[in-house]
Structure 1
C-alpha cells in the first residue's frame, strides 16, 4: 500500500533547491532536489540513496533516517511515517481487530447536542449518535466516510468543502497505510477508491501524510442548509487507531440553531435507520 522508495521520491520533489543553498537555473529539469543532491546533503553515498529510492536497500539506520528527514524538511507526522516505512520489513503488525467497549458507547450517548461518531482506522463508522445519523441521512454503523466522500457524494453532495475534505482524507489514509501495511481490508478500500475516483488517484500519488486532529467542517444538509461546524478528533488510548469524532457549533451561531432544528427532525424524514455497532 505504501513504500519507503515512493515516499522519498515525492518528498524530494517538494524541496526548493535554493532553500538548501543550491542555485537553480533554467536548465534544471527536475522538480525539487536531484538524488545526488539529497545523498550529498544527508551524508550518504549516491549509490546507497539510489538503492533506497529503488527499494533495493533495506533497514536504513536511525542516523540515515534522521539525516534524510532533515534534508527533506519533514514535519513531525512525516518523520514518524518515514520511520514506520523503513521498519516495515523488520516488524509486520497484525491488522487490528477491534470493537468499542460498552463504556465508550455510553460516552457517545451522552453527546446529545452535537453529531458524534466512533470511526476506526479504515474510516468505517463503527457507531454514531442520533444527530450524526440525521446529519448524514443514513444509519450510522455500516458506511465508510472515505468511500462516501469519493464515490457516493463527490463535490455535489453534503460536503461544502469537498476538495479540502479529499486532501485531508487521502493524507489520513496514507498515514494509516504506513501504520497498518498488512491490513487486507484497508488495502481493498484503497484499491476501490483508486479504481473509482480519478481525484483519489492523483492525490494518492502525492504521498502526503497528515493526522486529523481538529478544524472547520462545513456541511450542506438538504433540509437544514449550510452547517459550519468544528470537528474535534479524539484518538482512543488503546492503540487501535480508532477515534471519537465530535462536530460542534459555536454558541449563538446559525449552526447552533441549525443543529437544534436538525435534532427536531424525525428519523424517517431524514432517511436514517436504526443501528448501533459495526463489527470493525
Structure 2
C-alpha cells in the first residue's frame, strides 16, 4: 500500500536531517508555509507576512459578513420595496478613512523591509556574479585581484548521481540538485551580482528572501548573509524558455574554515574541491553523531 504524499514528505525530511550530508531548506510535498528562514531578511519577511494576516483575516470576515447580511436583508422577498437612499455621509467617511489607516499600517513596515533588503549588513566580504543562461547558471567568485573561481551549475542528471556522490535524494532532490553548488561561509555578507547572457532569468532563493531579475546587458545587485550551515535550494523564477523548470539553484553554506579550504582547492579543480568538501562534511557529521 502506497504511503500518502504528506507522510512521504515527512519521512524524506526526517531522513535528510539524520543523514550524513548537510540539510537546510528545500520545498516539501503539500507545503503551504514559507521555507524556514536562513537569513535576517527572511526572518523579517516571515514577520511581515504574519503581521499582514492580522489585518487581512478580519477584513475578509467583515466583507463576507456584509455580503451575507445584504443578501439576506435586501433580497426581493425580504425587501419588496427598495430603498431610494442615495448616500450616507458617515459610511462614506468610514470606508475612506478606514482603508487609508490600514494602508499606512502596511506601508511603514513595508518600506522598512524594502530598505533593509537593499542595505547590506556592513561591507560585503565576498562577491559572486551569477549569470543566467538557457538553461543553467554560471558563477564567478570575484576576489581583490579579480576573478578567482568560476564554474557552471547545471541540473544534476539521474545517471550522474553516483559520479557526484549525490545518491541521497532527500538531501539532493530530483530537479533541484545541481552538479556544482555555490559555496559560501556562514555569518558572511555576500554581495550577489546578477545578469543574463541571453534572455530574462531570475535568481530566487526562498530561504534567503532573495529574488533578483537577471537582465541581459544589465547588472543587478542583491545580498544575503546565511545564518546556518546546510544546502539551500531555489529556482529560476522568470519564464525563460522550454527548460525553465530545469534551472535550479543550490547554495551550500559551510564554516569559514571549510570555505577557505574549498576556495583554495577550487582555484585548481572545482569538482575535486566539491568532493573534498562533501567528504569533510560527512566526516564531521559522523564524528558528531558518534559523540
State the TM bucket, normalised to the shorter chain. Answer: under 0.3
Task: Provide the TM-score with structure 1 as the length reference.
Answer: 0.27
Higher normalized helix content (fraction of residues): 1
Question: How does the TM-score come out when normalised to structure 2?
Answer: 0.26
**Larger-gyration structure (1/2):** 2
